[in-house]
């Protein structure tokens, strides 16, 4: 009877896209509700068991704060995504076209990799994981992308490169996925930054896949939007002294980085006959540029200074913003706003300039921003005779 009523209800809907958009909304709402339900309980457990983030000279907080907020991401998304996909079948929506080709294989490998990396992150948040083991885990889950048929096979003219041979594209993709995953992990240094940037990226990818008619990927993207919103409320506006503040920890940042890598590689991969062009590269490039450039810049600086690549310091862009006098919220809004503006400008300029010119312009702007922040920091130190450099501490667990 229920099935009959639902069939009658949806029979008045003329377009399949309307049904799909409804189910995408359902996926978002379910993920949101799951996150709202689980986050307060995680805070209670963290308080009882004293599961707090470690305090050291490099950290930007001084109170006991749980780093287990990211525990809700994968469970919330899987519950919402699984139910919504089943609901598609329940209402007899034609999912065959949506899951055509390698889509089902891609999603199954993605599920395997995300769960595996999520568990590694949970263990790291609770008892610690050696960085070598984390890298092995990251390379393993990154290798699942080519196994699912996903790898970067075209650069659309960037550096003069178009089609990429399989033997080069697969290892390049694996290394890039590991690097992007770690870049998101490293940018998670102040309130709302990693989560906010991921939120913008997931919303963008969700809309893009709606426009392409690939509903299943849009559902996945908006499921992450749903679980991120409640977390960001506690992360940005919660009070550490009232026990209502959370960090996402490695379980959250690694999961976000891996999922964003998936969407980026999926969107960039050239498929013959689909009329793909440089927009397929410029959009993921713009969305991930801030964390990726920052991670690359920090590693280059450490290498030139003969410092260990995994020795933490206050050289990340968010640390510079704080040292320049910005608050956590101001720094987060500035960097997320910068990423959004860069996305819009790059899309607008793509028909005027080619990818190589846009790449150079983006690099120059990023270098100038870092240089201006350095000038501001030196000025503050000179005027106030205050040194923000802090003490370098190991960023990894041996």
pLDDT band at 27 (very low <50, low <70, confident <90, very high): very high
Using the predicted structure, report yes or no on whether residue 100 has a pLDDT greater than 60: no
| 113-165 confidence digits (pLDDT tens) | 999 999 999 999 999 899 889 999 999 999 999 999 999 999 999 999 999 99
pLDDT of residue 382: 84
The encoded tokens of residue 132 equal 């070598």
Of 48-62, 281-295, 344-358, 378-392, the least confident: 48-62
Number of domains in the chain: 1
| 247-265 confidence digits (pLDDT tens) | 999 999 999 999 999 999 9
Average pLDDT rounded to a whole number, residues 300-316: 80
The encoded tokens of residue 234 equal 């506690």
Average pLDDT rounded to a whole number, residues 79-89: 88
Average pLDDT rounded to a whole number, residues 203-229: 94
Q: How far apart are CA 58 and CA 55, in angstroms?
A: 8
pLDDT band at 381 (very low <50, low <70, confident <90, very high): confident
pLDDT of residue 356: 94
Please spell the DSSP secondary structure of 9-61, one letter per residue. Answer: HHHT---HHHHHHHHHHHHHHHHHHHHHHHHHHHHHHHHHHT-BPPP-TT-S-
Q: How far apart are CA 116 and CA 264, in angstroms?
A: 20
pLDDT of residue 11: 47
pLDDT of residue 102: 78
Of 80-94, 268-282, 380-394, the least confident: 380-394
pLDDT band at 339 (very low <50, low <70, confident <90, very high): very high
Average pLDDT rounded to a whole number, residues 374-383: 89
Average pLDDT rounded to a whole number, residues 11-30: 74
Of 14-23, 188-197, 330-339, the least confident: 14-23
Average pLDDT rounded to a whole number, residues 209-215: 88
pLDDT of residue 97: 54
pLDDT band at 9 (very low <50, low <70, confident <90, very high): very low
Using the predicted structure, report yes or no on whether residue 31 has a pLDDT greater than 60: yes
Question: Using CA of residue 144, residue 250, residue 306, residue 378, what is the dihedral sign?
Answer: positive
Using the predicted structure, report yes or no on whether residue 61 has a pLDDT greater than 60: no
Using the predicted structure, report yes or no on whether residue 367 has a pLDDT greater than 50: yes
Residue 113 lies in a domain: yes
Residue 245 lies in a domain: yes
Residue 196 lies in a domain: yes
Residue 327 lies in a domain: yes
Q: How far apart are CA 297 and CA 19, in angstroms?
A: 45
275: left (phi over 0), alpha (psi -120 to 50) or beta: left
The pLDDT mean for the chain works out to 86
Which residues, including other chains, have CB under 8 Å from residue 127's CB and lie 6 or more apart?
none
pLDDT of residue 392: 45
CB 71 within 8 A of CB 122: yes
Residue 11 lies in a domain: no
Q: Where is pLDDT greater, at 88 or 343?
A: 343
pLDDT band at 10 (very low <50, low <70, confident <90, very high): very low
Print the domain residue range for 257.
16-384
Average pLDDT rounded to a whole number, residues 289-308: 89
């Amino acid at each position: 009877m229920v099935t009959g009523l639902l069939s009658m209800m949806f029979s008045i809907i003329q377009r399949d896209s309307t049904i799909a958009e409804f189910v995408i909304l359902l996926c978002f709402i379910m993920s949101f509700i799951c996150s709202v339900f689980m986050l307060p309980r995680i805070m209670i457990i963290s308080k009882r068991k004293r599961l707090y983030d470690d305090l050291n000279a490099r950290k930007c907080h001084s109170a006991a704060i749980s780093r287990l907020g990211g525990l809700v991401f994968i469970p919330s998304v899987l519950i919402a995504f699984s139910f919504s996909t089943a609901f598609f079948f329940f209402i007899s929506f034609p999912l065959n076209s949506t899951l055509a080709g390698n889509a089902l294989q891609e999603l199954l490998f993605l599920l395997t990799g995300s769960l595996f990396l999520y568990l590694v992150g949970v263990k790291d948040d609770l008892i610690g994981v050696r960085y070598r083991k984390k890298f092995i885990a990251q390379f393993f889950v990154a290798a699942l992308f080519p196994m699912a048929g996903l790898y970067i096979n075209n650069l659309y003219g960037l550096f003069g490169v178009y089609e990429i041979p399989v033997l080069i594209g697969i290892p390049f993709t694996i290394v890039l996925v590991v690097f992007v995953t770690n870049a998101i992990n490293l940018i998670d240094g102040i309130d709302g930054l990693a989560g906010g940037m991921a939120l913008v990226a997931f919303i963008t990818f969700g809309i893009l896949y709606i426009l392409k008619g690939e509903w299943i990927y849009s559902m996945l993207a908006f499921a992450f939007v749903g679980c991120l919103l409640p977390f960001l409320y506690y992360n940005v506006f919660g009070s550490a002294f009232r026990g209502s503040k959370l960090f996402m920890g490695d379980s959250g940042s690694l999961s976000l980085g891996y999922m964003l890598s998936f969407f980026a590689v999926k969107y960039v991969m050239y498929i013959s006959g689909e009329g793909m062009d440089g927009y397929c590269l410029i959009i993921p490039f713009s969305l991930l540029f801030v964390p990726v450039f920052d991670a690359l810049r920090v590693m280059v600086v450490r290498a030139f200074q003969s410092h260990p690549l995994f020795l933490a310091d206050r050289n990340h862009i968010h640390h510079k913003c704080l040292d320049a006098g910005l608050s956590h919220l101001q720094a987060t809004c500035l960097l997320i706003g910068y990423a959004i503006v860069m996305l819009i400008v790059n899309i607008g300029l793509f028909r005027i300039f080619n990818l190589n010119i846009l790449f150079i312009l983006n690099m120059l702007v990023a270098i100038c921003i870092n240089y201006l922040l350095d000038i501001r920091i030196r000025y503050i130190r000179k005027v106030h005779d205050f040194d923000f450099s802090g003490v370098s501490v190991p960023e990894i667990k041996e």
